[in-house]
Amino acid sequence: MRIVSKPVRMLAVFWPNQNPIPYKFKVAQPDGEMAEIKIDKVISSTPHKGGGADCIIYECQSYIGNSDRRYVIKYLTKQCQWQLYKM
């Protein structure tokens, strides 16, 4: 996996006293088009504190381009922002 660190537009479920659960997201392609990716499986979610930024790191899996792809999504809790971190 390589680090891409792109902002994404996320659709997620928020429950009281739980971590948010990502459902699907849109990310900009190099040609400017927005690609929509549905998250098929959340493999793990771990809170992380480092570098002054509290975040939750999600390891996910989706069916993209005729194969299963694993990637990492990061939720920055203080900024309320989602990033496609590694792919």
Identify the pLDDT of residue 50: 79
- The reported pLDDT for the residue numbered 1 is 81
Confidence (pLDDT) at 52: 77
For the chain, list residues with pLDDT below 70.
none
d(CA 53, CA 71): 20
For CA atoms 2, 57, 54, 23, the dihedral sign is positive
Count how many domains the chain has.
1
| Domain enclosing residue 9, as ranges | 3-86
Q: pLDDT digits over 1-18, tens only?
A: 889 899 999 999 999 999
Report residue 84 as tokens: 């496609």
- Strands (E) located in the chain: 3-7, 9-13, 21-28, 34-38, 41-50, 53-64, 67-76, 81-86
